[in-house]
Amino acid sequence: MMDRAGEALILADLTDEQRAAVSHGEGPLIVVAGPGSGKTRVITRRVAWLIATGAAPPWQILAITFTNKAAEEMRRRIDDLVGAGTGVLVSTFHSFCARTLRRYGPPGRTESFAIYDEDDQRACVKRVVEELRLDEKVFRPADLLAKISQAKNRMLSAEDYASGALGFRDDTIARVFGKYEEALARFNALDFDDLLLSMVRLLETRQDVRDALRSRYRYILVDEYQDTNLPQARIANLLAGENGNICVVGDPDQSIYRFRGAEILNILDFERAHPAAREVRLERNYRSTKRILAAAQRLIEHNIARRAKTLYTENDEGDPIRVVRCLSDDEEARWVARAVEESIERGTPPGEIAIFYRVAALSRKFEEELRRRAVRHQVVGAVPFFQRKEVKDVLAWLRVLANPADEQQVRRLAALTEGLGPATLRRVEELAAERGLALLEAMRAVGERGDVRPQERRAVERVVQLLDALAERAREGVGPMLRAIIEETGIERALRSSENPQERARAENVRALVDAGYEFDERRARGGAQGDAGGAGDFREFLDHVALLSPADQAEDEFATVKLMTLHAAKGLEFDDVFIVGADAGFLPLEREGEAPDVEEERRLLYVGLTRARRRVTLTTARVRRTYGQDRSCAPSPFLAEIPREAIEQRGAGGDDLDGAYEPLPSFDVPFARGAESFAPARRNGRAERRPPDFAPAVVRAAAARPSDLVPGDRVEHAVFGKGQVVDITGTGIGTRVKVEFDAVGIKTLVLQYANLQRI
DNA sequence: CCATTCGATGTTTTT
DNA sequence: CATCGAATGG
């Protein structure tokens, strides 16, 4: 424990506001922290201060974050201040709940419950939909799941939903909801939302648990409070108790997870829920230049549902924000990649450069372009490793072992097993129904069905035998178990010998999973984890760990690589040089079919993006963007007009200007200057219409024009089809199609754009 | 039972 | 264009 000097040290280099928050005594505290205002610093210092002053021993402090990554980072910073392994619990809501529920048993489940991720959930909904004989086209499992999750976030039960249902569709959703809940209970499973809801129920119904937890965790700190949903806020408040020691930190302007149930009122109305709360506002920004901050501030002031907050900074004026209007998305990618290169040449460390986009699908072109230029880069949160099919296939074996009631996973095993198809499975299910057995038990008894052929019976037995063999090896650790799985099932071998390079990459994932298992064992052997040493608990813990890992957690912050990520993933990070691409109407705010965009939320999203930057921001737009292989013309995002002009330097890439909304400025890079003037841009409020090929913009025509001096009779070569002769050419611009009679494969019609024909 | 092919269909954001 | 699911043929 620290002395007075240590205490002074904790407060030494803080501003008055920061100090007020850090050294707040008992009772509720809300810290409204603007971007770059030293929020994490305040939390970690406060933890240190509580310990140093003896207000609470470390193990009575609970700090809650949203992502594992944030938790890790916070733990690290707390360790730096107070020493490692002091026992401060830093956890995400979900893993804190999972852990507590495992200890006390969630209502209606046993402690060995499975945690269902989105894939599992969808599969489960799908089964319900089939069971109810609904048309999957009309009732798409993913849509239904979204509705169900939404309801759960609002703490509505299936019955609640049913009683509020309007019309047939709602009624049906309510029925699916109910069946889905039944299925989860039967499988002894909880989905992500249930982890929170069960926790609420546990705290509300079990006074002993509530008291135990309250005396255990006397100080609660919640980061990113603006992103809490109803159950999360309820949990935090139940843990804290009335007038308890709850400290919430956040920024309503950075609330960007409404689609997932985040309730911005939790933070806006915190004081109403806690009349005794003290509020501290952190408005000084230490991160960005004056210009960036001014731009962000002016932008966000267009929101109506917010509480005024005025940020300021003592930092430099800085460079203007670049706004670049490109002729096409291809060119945007080229331009950005070049600008990234240039930034690196100017001395920016690659790891200090980031590219943000609204939708993940946009990443591809930038990736390709960076790869072409050999710029090291990394897509953050691209494909969540532990959610890849091959990884989940392997994990399914462990999951069945951990929770044999999980029929969903048992089915998965069946699907993985050669010779065990739907027909055989149905027979096993019938057997289960007849005898009142669990699916897995029925598989053991498969011999009692006369109508299962020996070949199929053997397949079923293989599954059971492997599970038994794995159970035997459970004490050896997760690594050996995983290894046994891939060896016995031959999954890695099968993938590795595939023709398809993508498949072979999957083999690497399987291998990496086994490695992760061994690493887990090692970490555990070193005494890192708590709980029973070795044995069956091990792989359960491994599964929990894996289930609650998010894509963002996979990011390794390598100093040497440029980062690409969605605007959502950018929250909480900072970079010297930020590129926000795809700043087009329709994309930002993102418009979805049949739904009005949530403009304020989208504006906050851009606000988050802008305020990640320390030194430079570049926003890019494209006149023509390709989606579904179709060209659509786009207007710039309306948000661009909300940024003060004096903070902007506007450029057109391709000898073009910004549609008159801004002063025309000299071009930066002019790959396709000519021909641009012949094209009058459609600037219909984003929702660009599909245009016939002849109206294809000049840029694209220029791009496609290169080989189009082809005439019938020319000899050409194609990468796949080999050599051939051009028979006919139809269409113009991007829609140009070439009919080629190939020597080897006969006549094919190719889209000139993609065919990549070489004249010979 | 399985592999291949064809057609339709689709694009947020994530614990 | 890419991916997925269903249909189809072996």
- Å separating the CA of residue A460 from the C1' of nucleotide B6: 33
Return all residues near A78 (Cβ < 8 A) that are at least 6 apart. A44, A47, A48, A63, A86, A88, A90
**Is A17 an active-site residue?**
no
3-state DSSP of A476-494:
HCHHHHHHHHHHHHCHHHH
Predicted confidence (pLDDT) at residue A256 exceeds the cutoff of 90: yes
In sequence order, the 6+-apart residues with CB closer than 8 A to the CB of A398 are: A470, A478, A481, A482, A485, A539, A542, A543
Name the nearest CA neighbour of A204 among A229, A235, A240, A246. A235
Beta bridge partners of A356: A565, A580
Does residue A317 have an active-site annotation?
no
Q: Which nucleotide is nearest to A627 (CA to C1')?
A: C1
pLDDT for A752 equals 63
Per-residue pLDDT band at A245 (split at 50, 70, 90)? very high
Give the predicted TM-score (pTM) of the model: 0.76
Per-residue pLDDT tens for A326-374? Answer: 888 888 888 899 999 999 999 999 999 999 999 888 888 888 888 888 8
Model confidence at A430, pLDDT cuts 50, 70, 90, reads: confident
pLDDT of residue A663: 34
Q: What is the mean pLDDT of chain A?
A: 81
pLDDT of A200 higher than 50? yes
Burial class (CB in 10 A: 0-12, 13-18, 19+), A57: middle
Residues in Cβ contact with A542 at an 8 Å cutoff, skipping those fewer than 6 apart: A398, A478, A517, A520
How many Å apart are A434 CA and B7 C1'? 40
For A653-703, the pLDDT digits (tens) are 654 443 433 333 333 322 222 222 222 223 223 222 222 222 222 222 222
C-alpha A112/C-alpha A406 separation (Å) is 10
Band of pLDDT at residue A387, cut at 50, 70 and 90: confident
* A131 CA vs C1 C1’ separation (Å): 34
Q: Which of A45, A612, A625, A691 does the annotation list as catalytic?
A: A612
One of A181, A193, A194, A224 is an active-site residue; which one?
A: A224
Interatomic separation, CA of residue A141 and C1' of nucleotide B10, rounded (Å): 15
Q: Which residue has better confidence, A57 or A749?
A: A57
Whether A40 is catalytic is yes
pLDDT 10s digits, A560-584? 889 999 999 899 999 999 999 999 8
A321-328 vs A613-627, strand pairing mode: parallel
Instruction: Return positions of chain C under 7 A from a protein CB.
Output: 1, 6
How confident is the model over A464-514, as pLDDT tens digits? 998 999 888 888 889 899 999 888 888 777 777 766 666 777 777 788 888
Widest Cα–Cα separation across chain A? 90
Q: Exposed e or buried b for every residue in A627-638, given b needs 16+ CB within 10 A?
A: beeebbbbbbbb
Give the pLDDT score at A681.
Answer: 29
Alpha carbon A593 to its chain's center: 22
- The predicted pLDDT at position A657 comes to 43
For residue A721, pLDDT over 70 is answered with no
Q: From the Cβ of A412, is strand B under 7 Å away?
A: no
Nucleotide closest to residue A384 (CA–C1'): B14
Q: What is the rounded distance in angstroms from the CA atom of residue A261 to the CA atom of residue A630? A: 33
Q: pLDDT-derived band of residue A20, with 50, 70 and 90 as boundaries?
A: very high
- Range A255-276 average pLDDT: 89
Q: Where are the beta strands (DSSP E) in A66-160?
A: 89-92, 114-116
Nucleotide closest in space to A67 (CA vs C1'): B15
